[in-house]
Amino acid sequence: MIRQYSRADKEQLTALLRRNIPEYFHPGELKDYDEYLDLHLEKYFVYEVENDILGCGGINYSDDRQTARLSWDIVHPKHHRKGIGKKLLEHRVSLLKSDPDLRQIAVRTTQHAYKFYEQNGFTLVRTEKDFWAKGFDLYFMHMPVLSF
């Protein structure tokens, strides 16, 4: 089931991020994620099965609300390639499609995950080496809302 994030989920989500270090996230991102959950999330969802959170992902908006950015997509490593990430992505895209002011969806990811977004309709706009940390490059991607 996909549901809205609750503060009570924070410990499980932090553990989920830790399970994806160092393959998908740099250890230094733990602090950033903690700050995001406390101060910067706008819409955040969890994928839960029998009280275990197996994935999560958020949405943040630009100031003019014409761009939505997917934020902090994380899936338990034992459940990669089982459709959880895709379900979370589809859930958020479905919500975003109903926003008449939205023009594009963006995602900032790494070389380790960009193929997932590419396979789901996102186009690579630019890259920046070692953006997140050494060995973790920025892959900035977007999808026009009209392409859904």
Q: For the segment 3-50, what is each residue's pLDDT rounded down to a tens digit?
A: 999 999 999 999 999 999 999 999 999 999 999 999 999 999 999 999
pLDDT score, position 40: 94
Cβ 44 vs Cβ 12: under 8 Å: no
What does 23-38 look like in DSSP terms, one character per residue?
Answer: TTS-TTHHHHHHHIII
Could you tell me the maximum CA-CA distance found in the chain, to the nearest angstrom? 39
- Stretch 66-72: mean pLDDT: 95
Q: What's the whole-model pTM score? A: 0.90
Number of domains the chain is built from? 1
Q: For the segment 75-112, what is each residue's pLDDT rounded down to a tens digit?
A: 999 999 999 999 999 999 999 988 888 999 999 999 99
**Interatomic CA distance for residues 137 and 132, integer angstroms:** 6
Closest CA to 66 of 43, 108, 109, 99: 99
The type of residue at 70 is L
* Per-residue pLDDT at 148 exceeds 70: no
Three-state DSSP at 43 gives strand
CATH number, domain with residue 140: 3.40.630.30
Domain span including residue 84: 2-147
pLDDT score, position 146: 66
Strand ordering across the sheet containing 104-109: 2-4, 43-49, 52-61, 67-75, 104-109, 136-144, 123-133
pLDDT score, position 100: 87
The type of residue at 122 is F
